[in-house]
Amino acid sequence: MKRVRWLYAAAFVAATLLVAAPALAQGEGANAGTNTSATYVGSKACAKCHEEQVEAFTKNPHYGAAIDANPNGEPTVGCESCHGPGSLHVAADGDDSDPRFKTIWNLKGMKAPDVNKVCGTCHRTGEQFYWAQSAHAHNDVSCRDCHSIHDSKDPGGEKLLQATSATDLCVKCHHDKRAELVHTAHMPVREGSMTCADCHNPHGSPGPHMIRGASNNELCTTCHMDKRGPFLWEHPPVRENCVTCHMPHGSNNDKVLASKKPFLCQRCHIATRHPSTLYDGAPSDLASNRLFNRSCTNCHSQIHGSNHPSGKTFLR
């Protein structure tokens, strides 16, 4: 008896889907990429109403890549590559009250997963390989939130960005990083020598915080190669993680340190007397020269690591 009921229920669901399918193809479902009744008519048919977008598309990286990829020199990426087959939309002849008008995929009105699905039909490798596991994807950030296909703001439209640079785009959401970048010691982002995308891949990465490396140390040492090692004598916190001591986006301390020296060093070196606390007893300790200038690194100059046989304490 239970099996019969189950079969009746399955048949009811199947019948419902068959009835609903045509409606989805003509309505909101079309905007989610489910439009299957329309056919492709070519980009020239779009120029009647969208002349400005069609003309601008010839300067778009998508168009250029298509020309280069096609041995015949004909563009293989056109309006319908992103907006779906447009025969029904064209047949509506601009009448937005006609149900066929809305069968075109309008990315402006689509939800983030649906927008990303459209873009992901082509952009699935390279920079976008880890997109599905990225923090942006998990927070429903869509490709359109950062990119503008028909009206990009970045110089030359190379990345089709919604802002003049990757940094200007990132700090629209990451306000805490905007504040850190105005500190006295900071990454050379404010001066334009680098952008957020030099260290982070906004489309995802195998490392933490979408950095362009498997670890913070691997990323930092791509530029700071003198800190890479291996060293004969290694400083454990340095080997473990650069951000143990440094604030990567900015700090009001020298060399973007997380705290002033010697207090930074004494977060770990807390045993009494030298080489840790200078303030165990008499107030006169506060006059120690180890409190000023480079502090601990006045003597321990090779704090990232030493290759000297006598460099156990990073003095040389």
According to DSSP, residue 293 is labeled T
pLDDT digits (tens, 9 = 90+) for 190-202: 998 999 999 999 9
Mean pLDDT of 261-265: 84
- Cα radius of gyration (the chain): 29
> Are 227 and 300 within 8 A, CB to CB?
no
Q: Supply the pLDDT for residue 288.
A: 60
Q: Supply the pLDDT for residue 242.
A: 96
Mean pLDDT of 60-74: 62
Picking from 42-51, 81-90, 288-297, which range would have the lowest pLDDT averaged per residue? Answer: 288-297
Length of the chain counted residue by residue: 316
Picking from 125-134, 209-218, 292-301, 303-312, which range would have the lowest pLDDT averaged per residue? Answer: 292-301
**247 Cβ neighbours under 8 A, 6+ residues apart:** 180, 253, 256, 257, 258
CA 60 to chain centre: 22
Query: Among 197, 195, 202, 214, which residue's Cα sits nearest to residue 136?
Result: 202
**Is 80 exceeded by the pLDDT of residue 5?**
no
Q: Percent of the chain scored above 70 by pLDDT?
A: 77
Q: Which residue has the higher pLDDT, 303 or 12?
A: 303
Would you state the structure tokens that stand for residue 298, as one six-digit string? Answer: 């006045």
Q: Supply the pLDDT for residue 63.
A: 80
Q: Supply the pLDDT for residue 287.
A: 58
What integer best gives the mean pLDDT of the chain?
A: 82
Q: Supply the pLDDT for residue 74.
A: 54
**Is 90 exceeded by the pLDDT of residue 235?**
yes
pLDDT digits (tens, 9 = 90+) for 142-174: 999 999 999 999 988 889 999 999 999 999 999
Cα–Cα distance for residue pair 27/227, rounded to 1 Å? 59
